[in-house]
Every structure is written in C-alpha cells, then in structure tokens.
A and B are shown apart, each in its own frame.
Chain A
C-alpha cells in the first residue's frame, strides 16, 4: 500500500509522517510516535480507552484515521500536564482514587476534561451519563464521578 505524507499537530508539536492511508490515529500515536499513554482496549470504538481530543473535542482514536487528523489539533494524555503540573482532572483522579489498574484512565481523563468543558458536569447524574462512553472494568465509577465533580468545581472557581 502506497504511503502518503501526513502532517499531525500533537500536543503542540508538529510531526511529519509517511503513513499508509489505513493507519489509524491510535496506531500512529502508539506505534509511530511513541505516545503510548493512549490505550487500545477494543479497536472498535466500544470502550473509550483511546479517547483523545481533536480540536478540543473528544474523539475515539481507534475509529479515526491518522490522515483525518491532518490540519487539526490533537491532544493526548501526555499533553495535558503543563510544565510538570498535573491538570486539575489528573490531580482529582489521583486524589479520589478514580482508577485501579489504570488502563482506561487516560481515556477517562480525556473524556472528563471534555465533559467539564462541554458543561456536562453539573450533577452526579449528568457526569455518569456523559462519562458512560468510557468503560472501566475495575469498577472505579463512583470515584470517577467524585473526581470529575471535584475537578469541575476547581475549574469553575
């Protein structure tokens, strides 16, 4: 399969890649760019572990071709902290023990950042609904809700 040039803007860094058109954004991040914080749980858009932001909106990287992200701004879990300071959502996840095995966590955190930004963190019920696309098999959900609630308050204040 012929490779095509793909220009990606990820976490503020510009990357120029030669990729087969079939390469997903998820596999480009993990296998070509070494950004392995974004996880593959199902590769079918069913679990949310691969959630990243494209132009600030949550997107499933496994259902997005890398070429589709060209000319857009991609943020992954590695791009959330600023100068070593955790994002308030990251800090809240740590404090509330909102994860166990940690495998779904990057996707949960990317969803949570967007959930708050979308204005969907107004109540526990709303958080549960708008975080429902990210599976956690360990069952950290009650603590995820607590973390999103806490971070939403911090972001608002």
Chain B
C-alpha cells in the first residue's frame, strides 16, 4: 500500500512514505516487556498517603453506623473520610446536565443504592494500615429488600438507549411480514451481567497544589475527565493536569471518571497530602460500570426461498435505580440482514446495581449473539445452509435506513473465512460429526459488524529547522496501539521517516484527542494528526513556493509533494529541497499548525458506515459430560484501511476471545436474596485463560472506503466480539442439536 493511495483524497499535497500499513512492532513495547511502562498506580510522589475504600455489603438501604474511632485508633491511620467530613464539592454528584454525565457516589449521604458502593475512605501512612482501618469500620446497615433480575421491578420504555437512540423503531409492518411468511421462528435469549475487569484496577495518584491538581489515572478520555473533575471541584480545567500514558485495559470502564477516582481527589484534599487510591478487585463490581443483562426475543418470517419477510427484535434490559444507561441490544438488527419489515424495541427495569455502562461493543455484542443465533435457527427452519441463508438475505443497502454503504466487503469476508475454515463440507443436520475421540463436533458461523464512528479530536504539528517533526495529541493507549499507529500516521502526515518524528500523547495538556472508545479513536485522532500534518506542510510549501531563492518557487501549493523530509515539484521531482533548508532560509526554528478530526456531516447523511466480518467456529462437546471446548476460530474482517496489520490482528484476536468468553465463560451472579454479586473476583467470574483459547485465525480483508474519512479508517477494537459469540453458540447447536438460549452456555443446558 503506497502513500500516494493514502493521500489521494487530499490533493493539496501528495506525500509518499512508508509508515502507514507497515507491521511495526509497538513503539512502547520495550517499556512494556521490561517493566518500565509506568501505569497510574506505579507513581509515588513524596509524602504520599494510601487511601482504601470501604464499600457497602448491602445492595439497598442506609449506613446506620461506622466505627471510625476503631479505624482511627489503628496505628498508621491518618484520617477516615465519611459523609460527615468529606470536603465540599461545587456541584451535586447527582446532578446530570447531559447523557454522558453519570451520577457518582461521593459520600454525599448515608444512602446505599448498590453493593460495593463507596461508604468511607480510610487514609493511612501505609497500604496495610489503610486496608486494616477499612476493615475496622465494621459498618452497621439498615437494609431494604434488593430488586434483582430482569423481572425484579416494573418495566418501562426508556427515553433513549445507548447514546440516546430511540428505544422503539420500525420500518414496514412486521406483523404483515410475519403473516405472509411461509416459515416463522420465535426464540428468546438471555445474556448476563458482565464486568469489564481490565487487568489494571482503577487507580489514582493525586496531589493538590492550592487549587491546582496533578493526577495520574487511567483514562480513555482525558479531556472529558478533566472537564468532569473541574466541574465537581469548581476549578478551571487548565488547572488540572492528568497523565495517562498507559491504561492497563479499559474496555469502556475507564471512559468516564468514576466515583472512586474522585474520592481519591477528595481524600487528598481532606488530608492535604498526595494520595494514592487503588480499587481492590472486588470493588470493581459496582462503581465502575458493567454490561447490563438482557433478555431478547426475536421473531422472523421467511418466504419460500428463504428470504426474510420480517425481523422483530425486542430487548429487555436493566439500569440502576438512579441513572440511565440502557444497553441498545435490539439495534443490532438494524444493519445486517435485508428485510422489508424490521421492528426493534427496548424496555427496562431499574435494579439495585451500579449503573451499567459502555462495555466493549455495547449493544452490538449482546444483540449480535441473539441475532446470529436466531438467523441460524431461521436458516435451519428453511432447510438452508447458514452461510447460504445469510447470502440470500445479504443487505445491499442498510436495511433500516435504505442508505448505501460507504463500503462493504462482507461477501469477501464470508468467502475467505469459509474457504480457510473448510465450511463447504459441513453437514446440514446437527450431531453428525464426531472426532477420533468420540467428541461431538459442531461448526457454526456468525456475521460481525460494528459502526465506523468518529468523534472530535485535535492535533498540533511542528516542523523544526533540524529537519525533525513533532506531533502532539492527547491520545490514549489502552492496549490498542495508539503510541504506534498514531506515530505512523504522523510520520506520513509530516512526510518524514517515523524515526524523525517525536510523538506526544497521553496527557491532558496536549490537544484534545477525544475519547478512545467506540472503535473510533484511530479514525478520529488519526484524521486530526493527518490534517495537522497537511496544514504544517502547507505552511512550509508557502514559504518555499513564494521565495525566489527556492527551487520550488512558483510551483504553487498544489504543485508540491512532501516526502522523506523534502518538498519536491510535482511536475519535476528532480527539483526539491529539504524542510531544514526552507526553514533556515526563512530564519525560522520551527513552524506549527493545528488539525482537527471529525465526521463529515455530508457523508454521514448519505452513507451507512460499518465495518463487517465473518466468523466460523468449531467446538467439541463431551457427549457424556457436556463440556464444551472451542477448538478452532477463523474470522475475516473488512474495516477499511489498516494502519498496522500486526496490531490490528491483535485487536481481532482480542475481540474474538471476548466472543469465546461471552458464549462460554462470563457471568456475574447476583444473590437473589441479598442483591450482592456472589463471584466478584477473578477466580469465580470466569474469563478465558490461555488454555481456553484454541487456534485462532484473523484474516484482514482488503477494503477501500473513500467516504468514512480521508484516510479510509474504520475501527477494529470491538467488531471481533460480534459474530464470534453467535458462531460458537451455533456450533454448539450443530454439535449437540441443543439450541443454546441463555449465555454463558452451561453444561446442564446441554444435558437437558
């Protein structure tokens, strides 16, 4: 992939280079493999104290008493922060001005509204003393009955789902479509509450200096975090400096600043010294978000040729009693399969849990496993191969809106993945394949999809008279590879070798890079970098083409191209000069320019923009004991331009492994009597270990998209989980003849 291609939508300056598309190893890799990468909790400013949360062991009620004296009497304990002495805030933590402002539990009163809610903070000279002090608080509660489960409260239709989309949508008449169908299916699927469980617990190291704040904390959105803290404390955002060079995973749970992180800031305020507060693993099951449970009912009708006549997708979900986030599961049916009639609807209950939040592919993951299972059921009801059925119902335009796709290489994904997997030899009926050891073997498939989103970002580019460049943007690397991919885009944007580019990110004093979420960070901040590079090259070209002493004089801005630290005449590449020469002649040590990344409103209106993929799974099931092992996964994904195939493959693998986890492992179990989570730890909340993950293959399918953005980037971070979970469920059916309808799939469901 040459750079002329990457820039052919930016005619002002064609630049050539070789960074974009190269499988570079991670630029932060050396630090990460040697223990030198400094995560938030690795910081230790002088005079620092340790803060430990005490959290509620009931789901609903009030804290009647805390033995603060016992805690304070413990040697090393400096202070105990409770609602009685918590420093004042400028605004009510329950105030909500916009949908992205989530209500926080900051010791504003003695009420308990979910298990593991913060009820006090113990601050001590050592971690051990703070931990023991928190245990000595021995809270007494007045508890009320907990509202648990998807039938645990009166249901209602939320005003909006996800980021505010309509809860109920339709096109055509689903009932007419179902009546006219030759074949119909109806099925209900349940998905559990899941917790992000990034390996790095939420942590904050914070120091006050007057009304200025110095903070180390993992954040997927530095500017949003800065703004939220500024609002809570009534100080100017620019007085708050947040560093987040590395996140130990985020998956959505570090998108918004959480209550415990703010409590760390309050604790530092209270004691007048720097404070470190790190969540204990069990404390991550409440105040830092989760994926809400769903119960989804799908109805589909098909004509005599297996064409869908109607899709009706209803999802019941849950939010907390005090805030709104509604998992938009049914919306998964908007984009994948052609049907003259589609209806999607949501309702919800309010439960005594922490507020659910975005978790890797929010709505898409939950909706996908139900939709892909139902499509498989529909194919079987029509006596068709699941791939043939999906191709029969292939959406040439976005089904819900009728908009053309900006690009869609899904057919090629199906073809490549099916061929690599060997799908053609699959028997139609279940329970027909066994391996040499007698294990039931099944093959299943699913379609993957995720929207190509963009948000807002800014970057600053500098060219220096020594011939080097600088690119700055407050981008966040939570493992997706921002340090590397953005440096690649910066190098090409500046027309420099990557080793001549200094790239700065991960700090709130840099230009706002927007949020690392929605699989939109590379596209958004990448375009800001790209545009900042183009802008600074344009300034440089102006200097050269306007100066008679330059070999580029008179070439005009459009007549110049930038490559390898030199500008050349487009019509005569033998004529050119280096950036350094241009700047030195102009008597400048450096020039700078800014760039923005944002979705193009016109193409937003015209096109449906999604990444696509196809995933094929093989499972083996013990015929006597029902134990399921995934033995093979092949995915093929088309997501526009690939900046770095080495890193992109890792993202696909990660997503696909989350798919295994969704189908077979993850589930938070709530005790119906107490409302507490019974498995709030990494031993009993199952996530896949290395031995659970078989041979995984991810094929990168070429896709040019001229409309998503000038770089042609979609997003790769979340799509892998969609499609995969359903493919595994469908493979389990193919192995056993038993259709999994609740997730994770349990042995007892297979044994009947």
Kindly report which residue of chain A lies nearest to residue B649, judged by CB atoms. A97
Interface residue tally for chain A (C-beta within 8 Å): 60
Q: Which B residues touch A23, using CB under 8 A? A: 128
Q: Which A residues touch B200, using CB under 8 A? A: 39, 41, 101, 103
Knowing A99-B32, A143-B650 touch, does A30 contact B42 (C-beta < 8 A)? yes
Kindly report which residue of chain A lies nearest to residue B280, judged by CB atoms. A43
Q: B689 touching A138 by the CB < 8 A rule? A: no
Q: Which A residues touch B37, using CB under 8 A? A: 102
Q: B690 touching A36 by the CB < 8 A rule? A: no
Other than A34-B44, A46-B683, A94-B29, give 9 A-B pairs with Cβ distance below 8 A. Answer: A36-B39, A39-B39, A40-B201, A86-B34, A94-B26, A97-B650, A99-B29, A135-B682, A141-B690
The 9 closest A-B CB pairs, nearest first, are: A37-B35, A103-B248, A101-B479, A100-B479, A139-B657, A102-B32, A139-B654, A77-B35, A36-B42
CB distance from B559 to the nearest CB of A (A): 41
Interface centre among B127, B198, B250, B693 (most CB of A within 10 A): B693
CB distance from A89 to the nearest CB of B (A): 8
Interface size grouping (class) on chain B: 35 or more
Interface string of B704-745 (1 = CB under 8 A from A): 000000000000000000000000000000000000000000
Q: Which of B42, B201, B647 contacts A41 (CB 8 A)?
A: B201
Bound CA–CA A106/B246 (angstroms): 14
Q: A131 touching B658 by the CB < 8 A rule? A: no
Q: A78 touching B34 by the CB < 8 A rule? A: yes
CB distance from A79 to the nearest CB of B (A): 9
Q: Which residues of A contact B (CB under 8 A)?
A: 1, 20, 22-23, 27, 30-31, 34-44, 46-47, 49, 76-78, 80-81, 86, 90-91, 93-95, 97, 99-106, 109, 127-129, 131-145
Q: Which B residues touch A102, using CB under 8 A? A: 28, 31-32, 37, 246, 248, 479
Interface string of B463-482 (1 = CB under 8 A from A): 00000000000000011110
Q: A105 touching B32 by the CB < 8 A rule? A: yes
Kindly report which residue of chain A lies nearest to residue B647, judged by CB atoms. A97
Q: A138 touching B683 by the CB < 8 A rule? A: no
30 inter-chain pairs at a CB distance below 8 angstroms, sorted by A residue, are A1-B128, A20-B126, A31-B127, A39-B199, A40-B201, A46-B681, A49-B199, A77-B34, A78-B36, A94-B26, A94-B30, A97-B647, A99-B32, A100-B479, A101-B249, A128-B690, A128-B693, A129-B691, A131-B691, A135-B687, A135-B689, A136-B199, A139-B688, A140-B650, A141-B689, A141-B693, A142-B693, A142-B695, A142-B696, A144-B690
Majority DSSP secondary structure for residues of A touching B: loop
User: Does B271 have its Cβ within 8 Å of any Cβ on chain A?
Assistant: no
Q: Which B residues touch A49, using CB under 8 A? A: 199
Q: Which B residues touch A95, using CB under 8 A? A: 25
Q: Which A residues touch B280, using CB under 8 A? A: 43
Q: A39 touching B248 by the CB < 8 A rule? A: yes
Kindly report which residue of chain A lies nearest to residue B484, judged by CB atoms. A97
CB distance from A139 to the nearest CB of B (A): 3
Q: A97 touching B25 by the CB < 8 A rule? A: yes
User: Does B653 have its Cβ within 8 Å of any Cβ on chain A?
Assistant: yes
Bound CA–CA A104/B688 (angstroms): 14
Q: Which A residues touch B658, using CB under 8 A? A: 139
Q: A27 touching B248 by the CB < 8 A rule? A: no
Q: B654 touching A140 by the CB < 8 A rule? A: yes
CB interface residues, B 180-206, toward A, < 8 Å: 197-201
Knowing A46-B683, A101-B246, A141-B690 touch, does A135 contact B199 (C-beta < 8 A)? yes
Q: A137 touching B127 by the CB < 8 A rule? A: no
Q: B34 touching A41 by the CB < 8 A rule? A: no
Q: A100 touching B480 by the CB < 8 A rule? A: yes
Bound CA–CA A40/B278 (angstroms): 10
Knowing A106-B35, A128-B691, A137-B251 touch, does A40 contact B41 (C-beta < 8 A)? yes
CB distance from A97 to the nearest CB of B (A): 5
Bound CA–CA A67/B30 (angstroms): 32
Interface string of B136-166 (1 = CB under 8 A from A): 0000000000000000000000000000000
Bound CA–CA A81/B278 (angstroms): 29
Interface centre among B39, B128, B655, B656 (most CB of A within 10 A): B128
Q: B693 touching A104 by the CB < 8 A rule? A: no
Q: Which A residues touch B31, using CB under 8 A? A: 102
Q: Which of B127, B654, B692 contacts A138 (CB 8 A)?
A: B654
Bound CA–CA A43/B279 (angstroms): 11
Q: A42 touching B691 by the CB < 8 A rule? A: no
Interface string of B433-470 (1 = CB under 8 A from A): 00000000000000000000000000000000000000
Q: A93 touching B653 by the CB < 8 A rule? A: no
Q: Which B residues touch A99, using CB under 8 A? A: 29, 32-33, 479
Q: Which A residues touch B481, using CB under 8 A? A: 100
Interface centre among B198, B651, B690, B692 (most CB of A within 10 A): B690
Q: Which A residues touch B688, using CB under 8 A? A: 139, 141
Q: B689 touching A104 by the CB < 8 A rule? A: no
Bound CA–CA A36/B576 (angstroms): 50
Q: B44 touching A31 by the CB < 8 A rule? A: yes
Knowing A41-B682, A77-B35 touch, does A137 contact B249 (C-beta < 8 A)? yes
